[in-house]
Structures are given as C-alpha cells and as structure tokens.
Amino acid sequence: MRGIEMVAKTRVVVLISGGGSNLQALIDACAQSHFPAQIVCVISNNPDAGGLEKAQRAGIKTRVIDHRDYESREAFDVALQAALVAAQAQLVCLAGFMRLLTSAFVRVWEGKMLNIHPSLLPSFKGLHTHSQALDAGVKWHGCTVHIVVPEMDAGPIVVQAVVPVLPEDNAQTLGARVLEQEHMIYPQALKWLAQGSLDVDGVQVMLKTPVKIPYSQGNPSED
Ligand code: GRF
C-alpha cells in the first residue's frame, strides 16, 4: 500500500523580548495541521518576557539568553546562533525582539529571518511608532513584515496592513488597532516564506504562485 507523501514542516525559532502577542498569533497559526511551519523553540533575551509563558503553555521549548550576561553584541549573537543551530532552526521570526543584531549574524540568516514592525515602513522606524505617526499627522498607519537585513527596520517588504488614524486616537488606541493587524499579517508572511512562495529581487518581494482561493465543493447550479 502506498502511503500519503508527507512534507516536513519548516522549523522556526521565534525571538521575543516582551508580551508575545505576535508570538501567540504564530503559535495559533502553526497549530493548524495544514500550516507549513512549526515553532521548535522560543528564545527571549529578557527573562521576564510574558511570551515565555505563552510558549510554555503551548508546549514549546523556551530558552533565555540574557543579553546582560554578554560583554558585547557580538558575544550575544554568537550565543544566539549556537541556540538556533541547536534547535535546528530553518527560519527565524523576530516578534517584538528588542535587540539590534550584528551584521554578521543577520547575514547568516539572510532571506530566512522575518521581523514585524508597527508602522508602514519606510515611515517611522525605531521606537514609539504610534506617537511618531500621530505627531506626523498621517491619516493612515499600519504594520509591516519584512525580511531582516543589517540596517534596522529595513529590508524587502513582504506584507503590510493599513489602519485609519482616527481624530480621537492616542498612541494606545492606535497601537491596539495596529496590533490586531500585526496578528493577521505575521502568520501570513511566515506561511509564504515557509512554503517557499516568496521571490525576492532586490527590494521587491513577489508571490511566486497566485494565491489560491479555497473554493468549496458547492453545487454548480448555485454559481
Ligand atoms: C509589536 O507591536 C511589534 O510589532 C513590535 O513590538 C510589539 C511587540 O508586541 N516590534 P508583542 O510582544 O508581540 O505583543
């Protein structure tokens, strides 16, 4: 009897520093049987990161690599790289990971590391992006998943989501609206990368195959 050919899920390590709501969105997506990726380890540079508990609740291995234990960025990144190798990571997702990575580390993971940033890049890099958006008076704001390159908050853009900026918004209300969208687009971007659907040409990222719409097996007479 011939068995059904099974394709192994891509092994992903998620790096966090904080609460981990994006991590949770990735955990939920990866829990679906047809999702092409699995989270094999969550690494935090912050021992108090709330995301560690989220990972543990989902039965995912966690590690803390506290940057304060290392004398330089280079030394921290060497330890991080060793942990990724030990986890047999194939892809890396930065999900609220608040450390700058060295160029040497980033180059090892070129094309295989995603980040989510809470603004419509290239606008509003760095911290306090929602305040930056309010201060600039923009009418639309959003979030970006991009491929990580050595320059901070740069790199080929995989997907963005846009939200309106409302007259009564403050950084908290605007941030909450953006975060909701982050949770939608990060799993989508990971899915595309894990299944090999992304074609990267310079700064352009294209989907290799058209997005398939899951048609139901409806009665043709109802079309
Ligand atoms: C998110 O807004 C993410 O885009 C930014 O930091 C925040 C982290 O949130 N880099 P969480 O830890 O995923 O809840």
Structure confidence by residue, pLDDT tens digits, 177-217? 999 999 999 999 999 999 999 999 999 999 997 655 555 55
- Work out the mean pLDDT of the chain and round it to a whole number: 94
Indicate the pLDDT class of residue 220, thresholds 50, 70 and 90: very low
CATH (residue range 10-207): 3.40.50.170
> Within 6 Å (CB) of ligand 1, which residues are found?
18-23, 51, 95-96, 116-118, 179, 182
Structure confidence by residue, pLDDT tens digits, 7-59? 899 999 999 999 999 999 999 999 999 999 999 999 999 999 999 999 999 99
The 3-state secondary structure of the chain, one letter per residue: CCCCCCCCCEEEEEEECCCCHHHHHHHHHHCCCCCCEEEEEEEECCCCCCHHHHHHHCCCCEEECCHHHCCCHHHHHHHHHHHHHHCCCCEEEECCCCCCCCHHHHHHCCCCEEEEECCCCCCCCCCCHHHHHHHHCCCEEEEEEEECCCCCCCCCEEEEEEEECCCCCCHHHHHHHHHHHHHHHHHHHHHHHHCCCEEEECCEEEECCCCCCCCCCCCHHHC
Best residue for ligand 1 mutational test, from 182, 183, 185 (most atoms within 8 Å of Cβ): 182
Is residue 117 annotated as part of the catalytic site, yes or no? yes
Q: How large a percentage of the chain has pLDDT more than 70? A: 91
